[in-house]
A and B are shown apart, each in its own frame.
Chain A
Amino acid sequence: MPFFKVSIDIRRKRGFKELAMTSNYGNDRVDQTVDKRKKNEDLLTCFSSVLRAFGSLDNFPFWVLFLIAALSLVSRLVLLLR
């Protein structure tokens, strides 16, 4: 799963969690434990998908493109501000 989709999914899940917490005020403690575990899982999923996207050979040329774009942007900024 690509990084961008994962991050969108996490945001969605977080939204649902907040909704669940406000509607189930009485079960607050249980929800918080579940939320914490889920949060860790989400972070792991996000981290592994970033690694996967970065490590995926299919995306390798795009990382070269991003690297070139980033180097160009930083170098030009440095030279333009001198």
Chain B
Amino acid sequence: MNSKLPSDTVAGRLLMVFVLLALCYWGVFSVVCPVTTYDAHVYNLARLAIAEKAGFWQGSAWNSNRQILFPWVFDAVHYPFLKLGRGAALPSFLCLVGALYMIYRLVAISWNRDAARWCVAALLAMPTVMLQASTVKNDLVILFTLTCWFYALYRYRSESRKWLLAVAALSLALMAGSKTSGIPLCGLLFLATLWHLRNRWRAGLQFLLFFSLFLPLFGSVETYILSWQIYHNPLGSKSFIRDSSNRDGIGGALANFVRYYIGNLSLGVDGAGHQSGLTGVLEGACRSFLDFVGLKNVGYRPDFNDANMVFGKSGGDAGSDFGLVGALGMTASTIFLLTRCTTDYIWKLSGAGFLTLFLTSYTIAWMPWNARFLLVPFVAFTIALTVKVFSEPGRFRAVQRLYGSVIIVSALALPFGSLNRRPKDLKTAIKHKEHLMFSEQPQLEKIWSDVRKIRSHNKNQHWYLVAGDDSWTLPFLLIDNIEWTPAPKWETILTKERETGRIGQNAFVLVLGREVPGEIPSFTVMKYSGTTLILQIETDLLRSAGQKLYLAPPLVRSF
């Protein structure tokens, strides 16, 4: 990239300092913050711990079907960090920094540095973007790989180097292997690449060659094989796929599109500590509109409908929106799309944003935590608006000041409105990381502490983990010096005890969200709310119980 960029202004440099300071804050968080996300504790990273203890190629130790059927290429990146005990969010943060750098370069070359800096600052002001950048979920990697693909092809146009085609192919393969929702986008971009290279058949063939090499390596082939072995279907449980997909065709897609559009309107003041009441107004308006246009109760996952539809804005990883900056970007992009010329870059950005928003609406059923699926469209909307405002320094001065202030204030306020990324959480992450680890499920911290206490008094005892479909298994499996056997089926305990032949050594069982069969010869050590308890099993009696043992229904079930 040889393009020369114009010189800096003082305001531009100050903005860059602000951006770097903000990145430092989020970077420190990504290093010290433990795993906090519900999904990671249940399946994204929990499956790494289960695969470590019970092996990958088995069907008896997984306690949730999401541990089996979702692609795991990006999840696996976190394995060394789980072993280290720190820095689990670093991969996502690096993805953010990489994406910001590419966006900066592309905007600076196509427009100017001021616009590029404001684009970067604007992304730092969007709650869902920053929360996903400081967590272990596999959503920001989709934005990153998409940006890598675009940047590689953009550079290939002027540099014509083969390895850039390899990077584009690797990006698409990683996109497909990181997340199920990345597969349709990967397919779309694969076709777009072939179209882009249509007049350079040699380059097109090279891209195909690289893609066919990288897809088996990074397309998460092993999870499809495992799903085939367990469900006789490479995509996993058919009912799970059906329920998680939009089952209502175009009608469902339009309804979801409306929900995402209205649900992401924002004043930028709602968060963990404060609710303005806007969400209630938006939910009511959305219901009325969908009813009016005849799209009532379509596009949902079966357990959601118009009556229980909620727009979160809770400040949590899964329940945030894109703030005032994202809402302004989305609204402005609608205007750009309707009023600007189709050959214009801003029109193309807006159009690409709405295309990917529609793709998500069409493929995935609506769920309250879907904002993180919308990173790509909202980043496109925000870049379109920011470029429009800041690309011509002499124009729109008042709008520049106003929009610039919104960006700065939003970026500064973002950590304070979050559920567990506030400055005081940083202190907690350093001193008592378990408090932060259980911030989404605080009741589990007591159980976790009890397990550690019992372990310290019974160092030679074996532990079984009998967990339900939505159980947080990861924090327990990561406790040092406990030899766990994940046993979602009770029979596994019997089989294991027969195999090991331990005599006179009672084993402990941590039961998370599972009914205990009456035939199990055990006594309760600790009892918690619901079906969560710690048992001590009398293994000698268990062996003699033999085949009378109650056979629990298979844990890996569809829902």
Contact = CB atoms under 8 A, between A and B. Distances in A.
Interface of A: 2, 4-5, 57-58, 60-62, 64-69, 71-73, 75-76, 78-80, 82
B161 A65 contact: no
A78 B94 contact: no
Given A4-B163, A68-B74, A82 B95 contact: no
B98 A60 contact: yes
Contacts of B170: 65-66, 69
A71 B80 contact: yes
State the 10 A-B residue pairs at the shortest beta-carbon distance, nearest first.
Answer: A61-B98, A75-B79, A64-B98, A75-B76, A79-B51, A71-B77, A76-B76, A72-B77, A64-B94, A72-B76
Nearest to B94: A64
Contacts of A64: 94-95, 97-98, 144
A67 B167 CA distance: 12
**Chain B binding site: helix, strand, loop or mixed by DSSP?**
helix
A62 B77 contact: no
Contacts of B57: 80
Contacts of B291: none
Interface string B138-181: 00010011011001100100000111000100110010010000
A75 B105 CA distance: 32
B52 interface: yes
Contact of A82 (B52, B73, B155, B222): B52
Nearest to A60: B101
Contacts of A67: 94
A79 B217 contact: no
A4 B56 CA distance: 36
A4 B163 CA distance: 8
Find the residue from B48, B98, B148, B152 having the highest chain A CB count within 10 A: B98
Interface string B92-105: 00110111011001
A76 B167 contact: no
Nearest to A66: B170
Contacts of A61: 98-99, 101-102, 144, 147-148, 151
A76 B78 CA distance: 10
B56 A80 contact: yes
B517 interface: no
A74 B174 CA distance: 14
A68 B77 contact: yes
B80 A75 contact: yes
A71 B151 CA distance: 22
